[in-house]
């Protein structure tokens, strides 16, 4: 069976095909009732496979804010990380497509899982692609960002070659989730790889840079930064020709650019990227051949006793609201989430801020639980009212900076967003305790909704 054969109950609100006609239409969708996140045991004492957790996010449900289903992977040690859909609004109005399958890579193992969400509350494993097949056919490893393409194929950024060296490249899966080869014609000029976002209307793809798997997997080492083993470039590609046309060096103010977000409006050429280590937000505007790139949010490191260097905020995730008005960022070490009004993309205005843990000594409790770790992955509801957050970054980095997380598990919170006047507040009725999972404390990472979300849907 191919995914094109299937229909999905959660797509009932659209006329045909997956997704929505426009960002404005997406904002009018039904409220999310379940949410998926990956949960992992890598880096803990628990000998159990990572799993996909289904969370009840319906406030009228008796199991609200609980894990209601677990879909375990078949093998230990995957380090499930980022994941995405087989189809999104890029395929809107194509009745042969359906948003039914989640593509869930193992960041550490290189194994790629295909999860069937025909039963949205109890997904099942559909297929596994072995890392040896991927290495043999493409010389790639370390799968990261997953985006579906408008032609029904799936594209995944890969951070390493078969031996774990940079720069990696981009893997393509066909409609049957078989390895179809590499997307890029060549990767010359790209030192490292990480996240990406494409916009065919402007014939562009933007990718960012982290590091080689051999560098980041063992843990963070400041010497690696000094020796240039982390990226600091923003790479712009010709989408049609699949070649790199511009590579912008962001310098020390742009160390480790991670998540890439375009405006949702497909006519817009504005986009943003968060530089994790420098903890600055960069904005770009324009098309290939005529583009500006500028730093628009500058956050400072702070001195803290016991640290060998000033502690950076460490901005690890950003997300843009579907109406392109607000940008949210998470500072994993400082422990705060910020809401910026980006109505003027070149001059973001701080509109809200909330603290959810961190290392600066501000103890925060929710339902009696002291928050272990800092805010990390973000996912925003389609209407922009609810921001979900998890606290795990990468198992080896978690164990360095938040060692208690291995014994206590991570958290999932929901932040209420004031989209009229601006402002953020923790929803005290919502706390998912991954420290109480049946097999032992687990760590939660990226999140997705069955009906699409603010980091998976692209309009072409």
pLDDT in tens, 187-229: 899 999 999 999 999 999 999 999 999 999 999 999 999 999 9
pLDDT-derived band at 14, boundaries 50, 70, 90: very low
pLDDT at res. 7: 37
Count the Cβ atoms, other than its own, within 10 Å of residue 245: 15
H helical segments located in 126-263: 131-138, 213-216, 222-226
- Bond into 167 cis (ω within 30): yes
Share of the chain above pLDDT 70, in %: 97
Q: What is the model's pLDDT at position 308?
A: 86
List, in order, residues 6 or more apart from 154 with CB less than 8 Å away.
84, 86, 103, 146, 147, 148, 172, 173, 177
Q: Which of 293, 282, 285 is nearest to 256 (CA)?
A: 282
Q: Do residues 402 and 378 touch, judged by C-beta distance below 8 A?
A: no
Q: Could you tell me the pTM of the whole model?
A: 0.96
Residue for token digits 């922009």? 384
Q: Average of pLDDT values for 225-240?
A: 97
Instruction: Delimit the domains of the chain by residue range.
Output: 23-448
- Can you give the pLDDT at residue 15? 56
CATH of domain 23-448: 2.130.10.10
Supply the pLDDT for residue 186.
87
Helix (H) or strand (E) holding 246: strand 243-249
**CB within 8 Å of 37: residues ≥ 6 apart:** 52, 53, 55, 390, 412, 444, 445, 446, 447, 448
Cα 22–Cα 25–Cα 31 angle in degrees, nearest 5: 130
Residue 239, SS3? coil
pLDDT digits (tens, 9 = 90+) for 84-122: 999 999 999 899 999 999 999 999 999 999 999 999 999
pLDDT in tens, 314-346: 999 999 999 999 999 999 999 999 999 999 999
Q: What is the Cα–Cα distance from 288 to 202, expressed in whole angstroms? A: 8
- What mean pLDDT is predicted for residues 227-249? 97
């Amino acid at each position: 069976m191919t995914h094109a054969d299937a229909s999905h109950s959660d797509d009932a609100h659209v006329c045909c095909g997956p997704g929505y006609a426009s960002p404005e239409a997406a904002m009018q969708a039904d409220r999310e009732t379940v949410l998926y996140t990956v949960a992992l045991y890598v880096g803990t004492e628990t000998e159990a496979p990572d799993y996909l957790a289904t969370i009840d996010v319906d406030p009228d449900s008796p199991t609200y804010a609980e894990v209601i289903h677990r879909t375990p992977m078949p093998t230990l040690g995957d380090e499930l990380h980022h994941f995405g859909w087989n189809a999104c609004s890029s395929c809107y109005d194509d009745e042969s497509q359906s948003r039914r399958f989640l593509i869930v890579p193992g960041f550490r193992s290189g194994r790629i899982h295909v999860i069937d969400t025909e039963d949205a509350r109890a997904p099942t494993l559909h297929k596994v692609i072995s890392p040896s097949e991927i290495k043999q056919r493409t010389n790639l490893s370390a799968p990261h960002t997953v985006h579906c393409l408008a032609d029904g194929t799936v594209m995944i950024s890969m951070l390493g070659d078969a031996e774990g060296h940079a720069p990696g490249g981009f893997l393509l899966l066909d409609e049957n989730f078989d390895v179809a080869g590499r997307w890029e014609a060549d990767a010359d000029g790209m030192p490292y790889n990480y996240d990406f976002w494409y916009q065919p209307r402007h014939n562009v793809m933007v990718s960012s840079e982290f590091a080689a798997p051999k560098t980041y997997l063992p843990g963070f080492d400041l010497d690696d930064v000094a020796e240039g083993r982390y990226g600091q470039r923003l790479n712009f590609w010709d989408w049609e020709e699949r070649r790199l046309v511009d590579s912008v060096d962001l310098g020390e103010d742009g160390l480790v650019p991670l998540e890439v977000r375009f405006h949702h409006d497909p006519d817009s050429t504005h986009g943003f990227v968060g530089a994790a280590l420098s903890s600055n937000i960069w904005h770009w505007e324009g098309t290939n051949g005529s583009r500006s790139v500028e730093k628009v949010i500058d956050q400072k490191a702070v001195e803290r006793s016991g640290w060998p260097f000033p502690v950076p905020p460490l901005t690890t995730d950003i997300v843009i609201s579907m109406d392109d008005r607000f940008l949210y960022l998470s500072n994993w070490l400082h422990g705060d989430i910020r809401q910026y009004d980006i109505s003027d993309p070149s001059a973001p205005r701080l509109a809200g801020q909330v603290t959810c843990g961190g290392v600066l000594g501000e103890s925060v409790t929710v339902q009696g639980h002291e928050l272990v770790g800092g805010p990390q992955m973000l996912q925003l509801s389609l209407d922009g009212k609810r921001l979900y957050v998890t606290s795990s970054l990468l198992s080896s980095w978690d164990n360095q900076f938040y060692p208690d997380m291995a014994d206590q598990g991570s958290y999932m919170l929901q932040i209420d967003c004031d989209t009229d006047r601006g402002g953020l507040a923790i929803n005290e009725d919502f706390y998912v305790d991954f420290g109480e999972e049946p097999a032992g404390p687990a760590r939660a990472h990226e999140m997705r909704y069955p009906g699409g979300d603010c980091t998976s849907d692209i309009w072409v």
